[in-house]
Structure 1
Amino acid sequence: MKKIDSKDYNIKKDFYDVLSNHPQVENLIKYLEAKSNILLFGGSVRDYGENRFSIIPRDFDMVVADLDENLEEIILMFSLVPQKNKFNGYKIRMNNLKIDIWKIQDTWAFKHNEVVYSSKKDLNKTVFLNIDSIFYDLNEDKLIDERFIDREKINTIDIVLSSNPFPELNLMRAFRFKYKYKLTFSNRLNEYLINWMKNFDNEYEAINNLRKTELNRYNKSIIDWDKELQKFIN
């Protein structure tokens, strides 16, 4: 995983270069940037260091802070047809471009009082995994990545916030990151996995649940699930 060097990155320019092929979306984001504060986070920012958006991310996750207007009404203003997502926000799809966008206060951890929201920087406390704790402030052209940098130092994938509504999805993603970036699980993450597996009749059923979750989301596997299963049954 390549580090994003603040001396040579130009996320804002490269992001808008992607949007330039989709004028309606580009105009929407420019409008929101003028009216609020936009944060890009997760995979799209993390992978930027590898390809500078030359490969369009699977999706762009973003939140808007300090927006006084109705987000759905704004999206409709630009003749876009949003779909509701699981975060009480909206999915926007246009050709190969996918965006998930919602108001920052609707982030699950804030809404359920798992994390107290005092400023936009608190967003990095709401993710399940430290590898997801990297954010880009579009308005300020600034990375917020303290926990992500800590992960780079120790090469370990760890839990930031254990409370989350989608444990299967997040555990599966942890395994994918482990294989893709050759990471090790922290003790805390291993303990969380073991406790989660107790919800099933046996280890095989638990691992198979993660296998199915991966295939449903990505249509292909990069994880040797049989090898992972052996670690629990031997």
Structure 2
Amino acid sequence: MRFDGVGIIGGLVRDFALGGRDAFKSDLDLVIQGDPREVAALASRIGAVANRFGGYGYSEGPWKIDFWALQNTWAVTAGHVAVRDLADVVQCTFFDWDAVVYDLRSRRVVCDKTYFQRIQSRRLEISLRSNPGEIGNLLRAARRIIRWHLTPGPVLTKFIVERLDEETFAVLKATERRKYGDRALDAFTSVAQLRSLLLGGARPQTELARQMTLPLD
């Protein structure tokens, strides 16, 4: 609490919005409003490891936690967004569904007034296209559309059309096998099959798809 503010961004709040406590399956991403040198000192004390996006990561019990100093978030250091406090972090996320912060000090959810309507509409869109991890975001987009039965918005649709090809299809499948225990892409044998599902709105009627769907109540 010696920092000016600490917020949980994205996953936890999004998952609670989707399906309550039982739906939470994400890592914890924290943004700390305070002197970046003090955040670095905190990282050193707890043995956190620097990540390639300007933050730090460590594990605590069952939790995998990544945290950043507010001024060191990638969108800020790359010059895409100006931030003054935690509320501005909602401008920094790739997906609009992640553009939400829970302020631990005030116990307040910070998002724009259409956030929960967008969740309810089941349409996933890009909020900030500029991002250093495009392949990772393409994989997350595919997994979310498949797992949560979503429809991509026009900007995300354009992103998928531009980036999903034979080469990236192979990379996505290999990356998913390496990073995730549950695999959504193993059911697809060609990039055309995956593109058709992601862009056309058809939903797989497989046992895997049913198991991976988040609860809605």
* TM-score interval, normalised by the smaller of the two chains: 0.7 to 0.9
Per the alignment, residue 110 of structure 1 pairs with: 76
Name the CA shift for 1:195/1:73 in 2 (closer, same or farther; >3 Å). same
Larger Rg: 1
Superposed, 1:149-228 pairs within 5 Å as: 149-197=116-164, 203-223=165-185, 224-226=187-189
RMSD: 2.4
Name the CA shift for 1:103/1:171 in 2 (closer, same or farther; >3 Å). same
SS in structure 2 at match of 1:163:
coil
Superposed, 1:1-234 pairs within 5 Å as: 33-49=1-17, 50-52=19-21, 57-67=25-35, 69-77=37-45, 80-146=46-112, 148-197=115-164, 203-223=165-185, 224-226=187-189, 229-230=192-193
Distance 2:60 2:50 in 1: 15
Percent identity among equivalent residues?
Answer: 25
Distance 2:152 2:190 in 1: 15
1:65 is aligned with what amino acid?
Q
Q: TM-score, normalised by structure 2?
A: 0.78
Aligned length: 193
Distance 1:73 1:63 in 2: 15
2:192 is aligned with what amino acid?
L
Structure 1 runs not aligned, ≥5 long: 1-32, 198-202
Name the CA shift for 1:39/1:230 in 2 (closer, same or farther; >3 Å). same
Moved more, 130-139 or 205-214: 205-214
Q: Deviations over 1:9-67 (max 9, x none)?
A: xxxxxxxxxxxxxxxxxxxxxxxx23320010111222234352x68744210010133
Distance 1:74 1:205 in 2: 40
Name the CA shift for 1:174/1:103 in 2 (closer, same or farther; >3 Å). same
Q: Structure with the greater relative contact order (CA < 8 A, sep ≥ 6): 1 or 2? A: 2
Structure 2 runs not aligned, ≥5 long: 197-217
Q: TM-score, normalised by structure 1?
A: 0.73
Instruction: Spell out structure 1 runs of 4+ moving beyond 6 A.
Output: none
Distance 1:210 1:232 in 2: 13
